[in-house]
Structure formats: C-alpha cells, structure tokens
Chains A and B, each alone.
Chain A
Amino acid sequence: DAGVIQSPRHEVTEMGQEVTLRCKPISGHDYLFWYRQTMMRGLELLIYFNNNVPIDDSGMPEDRFSAKMPNASFSTLKIQPSEPRDSAVYFCASSRRVVAGGRNTGELFFGEGSRLTVL
C-alpha cells in the first residue's frame, strides 16, 4: 500500500509568490494533519481534518495560510503571499479511527515532507 504522498518535495520561490503544497493521504484513513518543522520552532501542528472537515486550525500562523480537503484523497496547503519566515519543511500525515465511529488511533503516517525555501 502506498504511503502518504506529498508534492513538491522541494520548492524555492521568491517572497510574495503563492505556494501550494499537496498531499495524498493513505486510502481509508479518516484524519489528515499538516505540520511545519523548523530548527527554531520544532514541529508545529497547523491544522487537522476529520472526514475532510477542518477540526482545529488554531495552529495556522495567519490569514496568509489556508488549507482545504475537497475529498478523502487530496489536501492542499496554500501560502499567499509567501514570506522568508515561512521557510520550513511541511509534513502531511494521516491516520485512521480505532474502530468505526471511534477516535483517532494516534498512529500517524507521515509523508516525506515538502521543503520550502522563500527567498
């Protein structure tokens, strides 16, 4: 079974440009998480979805960041306009419920990440 797939793996852009990161979760998983990782701030949860519905976006830094999950097999994280301080590795992760109708197992499967550099 394929794991979580993220694209692009690397992106270099200039300040002010729009950036779109993409994620395909593992088929059958119910939850999708977007994280950001930097040396200074460590691993930060940006937003998570349950059955394609955004549940907690309290970690989204500001209005320049937006995330969507139009269906169970695809999600995007968009930054518009991008700034140098957005440079980081962005991870997508997915997980499933313990049982049907139950809670998140907590067993997250991470993608390989998208390394973003904003000049």
Chain B
Amino acid sequence: GDSVTQMEGPVTLSEEAFLTINCTYTATGYPSLFWYVQYPGEGLQLLLKATKADDKGSNKGFEATYRKETTSFHLEKGSVQVSDSAVYFCALISNFGNEKLTFGTGTRLTIIP
C-alpha cells in the first residue's frame, strides 16, 4: 500500500538557518504530493502541493519539488523564522483507488531566536 516516510523530529534551528525536512514515499501510479503544517492548538493546513513529476510547490518561502526518480518531496526554506515553529506533515493521495490521504508521522520544528 501507499506510505510516506519523513525525517524524525524534533528539529531545532536558529532563526535565519536553512531548513530541509526529508520526505520519501511509496505509491503505485502517479500520486499528488502535499506538505501540511500544524501550528500549536490548530488543525492542519495545506502549505504546498505538487501534482506531477518535476512540479515545484511553493508557499510562504517554503518549496518542495516532486522527484519521481527518487520518490521524494523534501521541504526546504532558505531562512526560517520563529513563526515557522510548527509540526510539518508530508502526505500523498493516489490517482486511483482509495481517495484518502496517506500522511507521514510529522516533524516538529522549533526555531530559536
């Protein structure tokens, strides 16, 4: 079945540092890929997405590129801020069969001033 593996947290960085959160997936066909973010006390919200190979999703300074050859969708940001502290979830949805999302386990990010 489909699965998503993302790097274990927690991740702690200083403000303005470069961020990478790794995400790899296993899926049949051509899934769409997502990053969701959860701020403390809130529900998840969509951060960015990519629907086909080589697509780059971007939002709020975050980027991720759909790499089919390495089955990866790593999240990056060039200069993190304290306000980026949150839990980040990588997810996919298959293009056939079941229409539910498969989520990774989440990576907690803390940015220190």
Contact = CB atoms under 8 A, between A and B. Distances in A.
A-B complex is real: yes
Interface of A: 4, 31, 33, 42-43, 45, 48, 50, 55-56, 91, 93, 103-113
Interface residues of B, number: 22
Given A106-B32, A106-B93, A107-B49, A31 B43 contact: no
Interface stretch (B14-22, B67-75, B94-102): B94-102
5 contacts: A4-B43, A55-B99, A56-B98, A106-B49, A111-B43
B106 A42 contact: yes
A110 B100 contact: no
Interface of B: 32, 34, 36, 41-46, 49, 89, 91-93, 95, 98-101, 103, 105-106
Contacts of A107: 34, 46, 49
What DSSP secondary structure best describes chain A's contact surface?
strand
Nearest to B36: A108
Contacts of B36: 108
Nearest to A44: B103
A113 B43 CA distance: 6
B42 A112 contact: yes
Nearest to A6: B43
A103 B95 CA distance: 8
